[in-house]
Structure 1
Amino acid sequence: MNQEHPILRVEGIHKTLGEQLVLDDISLSVNKGEVKILIGPSGSGKSTLLQCLNFLHTPDRGRLWLEGREFKASGKRDLCSLRQQVGMIFQDFNLFDHLTALENVRIALVKVKKLPASQANRRAKEELARVGLADKAALYPAQLSGGQKQRVSMARALAMDPKILLLDEPTSALDPELIGEVLAVIRFLASTGMTMIMATHQIAFSATMAHEFLFMEKGRIVERGSPSVLLAAGATTRTMAFCAKINELSGDLGTAKNQTP
């Protein structure tokens, strides 16, 4: 694997929303095939950071490199190119209600990638099959479960051939019994070498595949390291303390490495 340059690197990212400093000097890098997990309390800046990584929010200060080339947002074409390469999965699906699952995946292939309709149709079907929804292609969002909607949104992002996938709490809007089907797709993508940064509270699941945890608090990354270190028995890390609070409601953190979706 060529690691001459990380897939994505940012340095000194700052972002203020209104009068609140939401991101305070954030730096990180992700190599090809790595999975990095953003954790931390609500309001710590995780979602804003992900949105700054593909310029849905423009950072006030800081620099971003994609495969070693610094990104400069000089116009819509540059932003469109970045967002094709840095895919985004949102909490709330963002599907078009008047389009079928197939059409939701196909639309960007036609309008953004300018593929012929037949080729876009074929590719959309392939991506729906990849997330286990080949038999749901003709259904509208109102006919799908929350887990199925999220998988359609994942297929839509994957159809753009992103170099890295950003996932912002992808299971937070789902009923508990539907979470597993989305986590199974994420695990599959990780197993195929998809590079990902994910904000999540699914700590036990994430510990089974993450290369690094990044703990955010008050707009800063205050701790980073492998799950095996940060969640080791007897660890006094900020990450462990946070996870222990979650564990009071969700079960034994000690079984994290054996848990599957």
Structure 2
Amino acid sequence: MDEPVILRVENIVKTIGPHRILDDVSFSVKKGGLKVLIGPSGAGKSTLLSCINFLSPPDSGTISLDGQAVNGKSRRELLALRQQVGMIFQDFNLFDHLSALDNVRVALLKVKRMDRRAATARAMEELARVGLADKPSLYPAQLSGGQKQRVSVARALAMDPKVLLLDEPTSALDPELIGEVLTVIRDLADEGMTMVMATHQISFSASLADEFLFMEQGRIVERGSPALLLARDSGSRTQSFCAKLSELAGDASCELPS
């Protein structure tokens, strides 16, 4: 049975000053799907994710969730959208004065209005889900970068999102910490979480994504399956970009996984 479209992005335009950051961007994601945004810095990937969640409202175009277009001028609809579309940022966006438990629990208490006991139980469940059941009392300053990012994932998951947006979730991490966050993302994909992720972890995402969207100068200039776009003889912009990443990294990180 074909899965329904959960998220639809249509003709999104975003201008900042004299610069058109997004230029008529459209794509859709089916339930359980993973779309991966690839492209050089400044291509518009982060801005696109922010537009989807209306953290940076688009100038024009439509964002639809479960077939319903979101009215970006309605506070009620925006609050509902942000409960259903979770966001994972490059720099974690944790509250430094709150413990890991409270970072996850705070939205359950203030937004979902859960009682404290239920919110605590749910927060602990999500911390365990990302491998941090033994760290609830630690503050961000006491956590590694990988642990902070896993707390941010737990915080998003606690809201039961229909879609998870991930903006370069490993870019702020030391190389030895990247793996622990990628493991969590792989587990979420295996569980059927619907995701849109901007990343340079090409080989990793190729093993999970149903489609790559290559962005350049605010447009999606190429789209297709990882197998199609990363094939050595594809001549694709994606393959060329990945080859340059591999050359800079001094490895074969963009080769298709076996």
Same fold (TM over 0.5): yes
Distance (whole Å) between structure 1 residues aligned to residue 132 and residue 63 of structure 2: 35
Q: In the alignment, is the contact (CA less than 8 A) between 2:57 and 2:72 conserved in 1? A: no
The one-character-per-residue Cα deviations of 1:143-184 (angstroms, maximum 9, x if unpaired) are: 100000000000000000000000000000001110000000
The aligned counterpart of 2:257 is 257
Identify if the C-alpha distance between structure 1 residues 142 and 213 changes in structure 2 by more than 3 Å, giving closer, same or farther. same
Distance (whole Å) between structure 1 residues aligned to residue 215 and residue 66 of structure 2: 25
Distance (whole Å) between structure 2 residues aligned to residue 143 and residue 253 of structure 1: 31
Matches within 5 A, 1:46-195: 46-195=45-194
TM-score (norm 2): 0.97
Distance (whole Å) between structure 2 residues aligned to residue 6 and residue 255 of structure 1: 30
Distance (whole Å) between structure 1 residues aligned to residue 223 and residue 39 of structure 2: 11
The one-character-per-residue Cα deviations of 1:164-205 (angstroms, maximum 9, x if unpaired) are: 000000000001110000000000000000000000000011
- 3-state secondary structure, aligned to 1:41: coil
Structure 1: gaps spanning 5 or more residues = none
Distance (whole Å) between structure 2 residues aligned to residue 115 and residue 253 of structure 1: 44
Question: Runs of 4+ in structure 1 displaced over 6 angstroms?
Answer: none
- 3-state secondary structure, aligned to 2:61: strand
Equivalent residue letter for 1:246: L
TM-score (norm 1): 0.96
Distance (whole Å) between structure 2 residues aligned to residue 239 and residue 88 of structure 1: 25
Distance (whole Å) between structure 2 residues aligned to residue 190 and residue 114 of structure 1: 29
The aligned counterpart of 1:45 is 44
Q: In the alignment, is the contact (CA less than 8 A) between 2:5 and 2:28 conserved in 1? A: yes
The aligned counterpart of 1:209 is 208
Distance (whole Å) between structure 2 residues aligned to residue 15 and residue 6 of structure 1: 24
Distance (whole Å) between structure 2 residues aligned to residue 193 and residue 26 of structure 1: 25
Matches within 5 A, 1:15-34: 15-34=14-33
Q: Give the alignment's Cα RMSD to 1 decimal.
A: 1.1
- Post-superposition offset of 1:254: 6.3
Identity %: 67
Distance (whole Å) between structure 1 residues aligned to residue 53 and residue 124 of structure 2: 26
Distance (whole Å) between structure 2 residues aligned to residue 254 and residue 54 of structure 1: 29
- Post-superposition offset of 1:255: 4.1
Residues matched between the structures, number: 257
Distance (whole Å) between structure 2 residues aligned to residue 122 and residue 233 of structure 1: 49
